[in-house]
Amino acid sequence: MEPLKCSSTSSVVDSSFFTKLSDLKLNDFKLDSSRREIGAYMTNPKSLTKFNNIPIVNLDYLSFDSNSNDEQDPEANLWLDGWLYNKNTIEEFKNIDKQLFLKSAGLEIYNTLKVLKEQGEMPNFQDLNTFHLLTFCDLKKYKFYYWFAIPVLNSSWTIIRRDVASINTQKDGSIGLVPVKADGTKCKLKEAEEFIFYDTSTNKSPSIQLRNYLYYLAMNGFKSVKVTISLPGIGNSYSLELQLDSSFDTDSIPKITGWERTSNGKLGPKLADLGSLINPNQLAEQAVDLNLKLMKWRIAPQLDLDLIKNQRVLLLGAGTLGSYVARALMGWGVRKITFVDNGRISYSNPVRQPLFSFKDCFSDNGLGEWKASRAAKSLKEIFPGVDSAGYNLEVPMVGHPISKEDEGSKRASFDKLSQLFDEHDIVFLLMDSRESRWLPTLMGLAKDKLVLNAALGFDSYLVMRHGNLQNSKEEDVHVGQRLGCYFCNDVVAPDDSLTDRTLDQMCTVTRPGVALMASSLAVELLMSTLQHPDGKYASYSPTSSTTDTVLGEVPHQIRGFLHNFSQTKLVSPNFNSCSACSLSVLNHYKQDGWDFIKRCLDDSSYLEEVSGLKKVHEAAELGAAELLKDLELSDEDDEWLS
């Protein structure tokens, strides 16, 4: 006589399970730690060998698919239903009362058996083998802590006799414990003379699944039973005559076990450290997404991160502003960033422009690397998942006439810039000179791109978004009137401001912190605009106290001053005679393209004529003359003043 011993069940969790769990944690579960239905499959006992002789429960990415059970081949796998308990912190995972947890899970089986007892039915294999998986995901280090359990209701049985099988155990598709008569034919539980246990193990001891069946037999008044253990695949069945301990009480809550042991036989959770196995680029991708998706859990659940991620952003300027804007864009998850610049990296740049280092200031020919291409490479070194490119391109500037020798290259630059605008959704104007912003402003309006502008003074900055036309007619513009552009407050067309400049005029002389502030605000303004239901067509009223987006307001202009550390939000409508965004200039550009642009570059006075600024000047001069005329003193006035 010896106590009945059973072989435990082991679990194998595939890495795809944790990959799927990570995705669900970020996008679905978030901070919800309530239990979730999952599934697993147990390898068909027929495939077991003497070297692999215990049942294995396998979990992979299909465990989260409710339809996976229907897709499983019953000849290959046995499907099990289960529950996932994913905790938010490692402390919560550790501090769970494991005994109470398992007792609660076991009582679900116990209550199921009580119902089946009243019905006189035998429990099926799935009823008695519901598994429970306790997990914690450390998504920053890509480590997964988990503990697997199948609750077991224990009853005290002693082996009275072990013998070879006396009845035919030819499998008929059944699994688990089957009541039979003495000749091996299936019958109802109350008619049973013997039992056949179609085991999931080829071990010398029956698998642990037998214990829940034996507990059910004890509940139904069986004191002694004969169980034939049918071993899968190998054909060597044996029978056990079992005796229930006389002191066993089925009316009391049973002792419940079932936590899986570690490889060294101790009770405790397992750790899957996938960080060293996964491609570092993939880890970086997931880490970037993690930081952003944490915002959605409690702070901004309505935040549309996919919209941000899919934006294609063109940065005109790869210097101080371009470097900081690019870094902030990557922080928001933007994957497509393109630079345009025609400058080389100099020794003064790396301390102010974080995408460059000292070694970039010189190359084989003694010159620094091109800013645009080096900035693109730097982004990929920071985050390999970014799609970044750089173009060494000089933006044609109004007021800078084109010589016959340069016309071909200027036309090529214009065509390339136009192509880049077509390939991107958002354009940042981050250049040094005012005139270099004119063509991109016009081109952005014509191609309906969201254009954002950042400009620096010594201790001041301007950040703004340009208005967009939804229709070609001014009277059809969204909300009555669109927002103004960078040039809408000017009464003269931009002109050459670069020729004969002194050293301090050739460099952007500004307090070092100004560029960081302006760059950050420009990117944050973009993000708020993207979250607005009207997007790039969003209007703005400084007197409105309503919050327009999940991120707050979407202002038109932000002007900051460091001398008194103040910041002001302003709004200005478009100017009908603006040199860059008036309908007259826009229509000329759409009609004549490069020919119109070339004429404006050669002669800024022509641009003033087309835009209507010339008439504004004439009207102003006429008004001034009338005012002076009204102020002329009469003879009577002379008498008063004498």
Q: At 67, which amino acid appears?
A: N
DSSP 270: E
* Contact status, residue 401 vs residue 602, Cβ threshold 8 Å: yes
Query: Token pair for residue 443?
Result: 């081109």
| Beta carbons within 8 Å of 620's beta carbon, 6+ residues apart | 491
First to last CA, the chain: 139
Q: Residue-wise over 492-505: b if at least 16 C-beta within 10 A, else e?
A: ebbbeeeeeeeeee
Q: Give me the residues paired with residue 242 across strands.
A: 159, 225
* Contact status, residue 107 vs residue 101, Cβ threshold 8 Å: no
Q: Residue-wise over 27-48: b if at least 16 C-beta within 10 A, else e?
A: eebbeeeeebebbbbbbbbeeb
Angle at 115 between CA 110 and CA 118, to 5 degrees: 125
Q: In whole angstroms, give the CA distance from residue 200 to residue 213.
A: 14
Residue from 187, 485, 507, 581 carrying the catalytic annotation: 507
Give kind and range of the element (H or E) at residue 104.
helix 98-119
Query: Token pair for residue 69?
Result: 């059970």
Does 578 qualify as catalytic in the annotation? Answer: no
Give kind and range of the element (H or E) at residue 43.
strand 36-43
Measuring CA to CA, which residue among 147, 149, 142 is closest to residue 19? Answer: 142
Query: Token pair for residue 439?
Result: 């063509």
Q: In whole angstroms, give the CA distance from residue 145 to residue 130.
A: 20
* DSSP secondary structure of 4-37: ---BPPEEEE-HHHHHHHHHHIIIIITT--S-EE
Using DSSP's 3-state secondary structure scheme, residue 343 falls into: coil
Q: Which positions are catalytic?
A: 507
